[in-house]
Amino acid sequence: MSGERIEVFRSVATLKHDFTVECESRGHKVIFDESKILGGNDMGMNPVEATLAALGACQCIIARLFARSKNLQLESLSMELEGDMYVPDLKNIADGKGTMQIKEIRNKVRIRSSSPKEVVRDFALFIENNCPVADLLRNPTQLIPEVIIEQT
């Protein structure tokens, strides 16, 4: 099929102080941190919150890209996402006896449209099924770590 290609996305994450992490892509920077309750400085979203935000943002962008071609009058769109994280005792994690896991992500999709309800429901399924971030979360993606040790 013409128009198909591989697009490579890159990001660099650098641990700063405490739990603060600076991430950069294409010259854009985002700061991640943990809440003060968890020992962070609350300088930004934590990575789980950012993942939920990325999922919502991706679906909003997909909606904007395809609303017109799907004959949907998109007046407004918002995503309200939440996930439940299972957090075992941190000592068990350190001992290799447990992992933190997100068991479920819930997404309330709010679409304001003058289009028929059936068209809006079909469109909501379309954006869910065509979102690359949802695909990352839904399907196993090969993660290839490479450890570079810089000894001091």
Query: Which tens digit of pLDDT belongs to each residue from 81-129?
Result: 999 988 777 777 778 888 888 889 999 999 999 999 999 999 999 999 9
Q: What is the pLDDT of residues 44-53, one digit of tens each?
A: 999 999 999 9
In this prediction, residue 30 has a pLDDT band, given cuts at 50, 70 and 90, of very high
- Pairing mode of beta strands 101-113, 74-86: antiparallel
Is residue 1 scored above 70 in pLDDT? no
Same-domain status, 53 and 116: yes
Q: Both 112 and 85 in a single domain?
A: yes
Contact assessment for residue 54 and residue 131, using Cβ atoms and an 8 Å cutoff? no
Q: What is the CATH number of the domain that holds 98?
A: 3.30.300.20
User: Percent of the chain having pLDDT more than 70?
Assistant: 99
DSSP 8-class letter at 19: T
**Residue 87 belongs to some domain of the structure:** yes
Task: Please tell me the least confidently modeled range out of 64-68, 70-74, 96-100.
Answer: 96-100
Q: Which pLDDT score is estimated for 2?
A: 64
Residue 43 pLDDT: 96
State the amino acid at position 144 in one-letter form: I
Same domain, 58 and 112: yes
Same domain, 59 and 121: yes
Which domain covers residue 84, as residue numbers? 47-136
Helices (H), the chain: 47-66, 90-94, 117-129, 132-138
Regarding whether 122 and 60 lie in a shared domain, the answer is yes
User: What average pLDDT does range 126-135 have in this prediction?
Assistant: 96
32 and 103: one domain?
A: no
Q: Is residue 25 part of a domain?
A: yes
Q: Are residues 78 and 126 in the same domain?
A: yes
Work out how many domains the chain is built from and give that number.
2
How large a percentage of the chain has pLDDT more than 90?
80
Using DSSP's 3-state secondary structure scheme, residue 100 falls into coil
